[in-house]
Amino acid sequence: MSVLEKEQVLKTEDAIEYLKISKPTFLKYVHLGRIRATKAGKGWRVLLSELNRFLKGEEN
């Protein structure tokens, strides 16, 4: 099984709970490109590793 197959994908609500930030703040960071996420229907999907990268303050 590859690394990507093991990667956890979070929905918007799960991501904001994990980061402990508001939904508007999460959406601002997504639109500014600080958090890389994919639009899925009316919400967003983001990898757990991406949230951890964001929390560490890494740019790329």
Tokens of 22: 């508001």
Residue at 44: amino acid letter: W
Q: Which fold has domain 3-56?
A: Arc Repressor Mutant, subunit A (1.10.10)
Instruction: State residue 3's pLDDT score.
Output: 56
Task: Please tell me the number of Cα atoms within 13 Å of 26 on its side-chain side.
Answer: 22
What predicted TM-score, i.e. pTM, was given to this entire model?
Answer: 0.83
Instruction: State residue 58's pLDDT score.
Output: 78
The pLDDT averaged over each successive group of 10 residues in the chain (60 residues) is 72 97 98 97 96 87
Instruction: State residue 4's pLDDT score.
Output: 54
Rounded to whole angstroms, how far apart are CA atoms 2 and 42? 29
Stated as kind and residue range, the H or E segment containing 17 is helix 12-19
